[in-house]
Amino acid sequence: MIVPKLNSIMQIHMIGNGASNKLFQSPYGFKIMCNIPKLPVPADVISIIDQKVLLYQQQEKFQFKHNQVIWCTPQIQQVAEKKQLLGDWQPVYQHQHRYNSGHLAVQHACRTSPNLKIVHLWGMDSMFSSDLTSQMDDRVKRPQRPPLNREWRPNWKTVFAQFLQIQFLIHIHTPIEDYNYGQNVKKIIHQD
């Protein structure tokens, strides 16, 4: 897969693995998804920072297409190549404490897309609720998670504040918890 040059992209859809990703609806735009998405939407880029995802791929013999672009850290790229996992593994991230793959994908896309105007965020349930479940949970077993949304939310605010020229739109159900993400962030509430 050839990724369109990021300098020509004006709109991005960041699609997480929270239950609200079913709200996603757009026939256009550059699509970034996390880990091994279940949503049947073709991704331009997959974002992976967790070695447990690679272990799942190896154990279950799951492979991306050989040309699927995957943004990751250098450590993930090395492990993926050692395990001979298919994909175009691009080490574009540096590890940041308590940043998830969505944070890093949005931050990288915003830094490298000079014409970017709008970033849509779908399926990021921890941004507006205490729900930390992921559609990956049946694939990558995890112990009880600490309340990471308490750390993820301030990190989102930091990312958004770095790119005040970009409008961030969080697509959600009725919010359970409110959080001020900054002047360039709006919530779009969808009805089922």
Q: What is the DSSP string of 6-70?
A: GGG--EEEEE-SSGGGGG---SSSEEEEESS--S----SEEE---HHHHHHHHHHT----TT-EE
For the chain, give the percent of residues with pLDDT over 90: 58
Contact assessment for residue 145 and residue 50, using Cβ atoms and an 8 Å cutoff: no
Q: Report the alpha-carbon distance of residue 170 to residue 13 in Å, rounded.
A: 10
pLDDT tens digits for range 106-156? 999 999 999 999 999 999 988 888 766 565 656 666 666 665 667 888 999
**Model pTM?**
0.90
pLDDT over 90 at 99, yes or no: yes
What would the two tokens of residue 9 be?
A: 């992209």
Polymer length in residues for the chain: 192
Q: What is the pLDDT of residue 160?
A: 98
Distances in Å between the Cα of 180 and the Cα atoms of 127, 148, 158, 163 are 10, 17, 12, 16
pLDDT tens digits for range 47-60? 999 998 998 899 88
What would the two tokens of residue 171 be?
A: 């697509």
The answer for residues whose C-beta is within 8 angstroms of residue 135's C-beta and 6 or more apart is: 17, 18, 19, 21, 37, 38, 39
Query: Which helix (H) or strand (E) covers residue 80, if one does?
Result: helix 74-82
Q: Report the alpha-carbon distance of residue 102 to residue 110 in Å, rounded.
A: 12
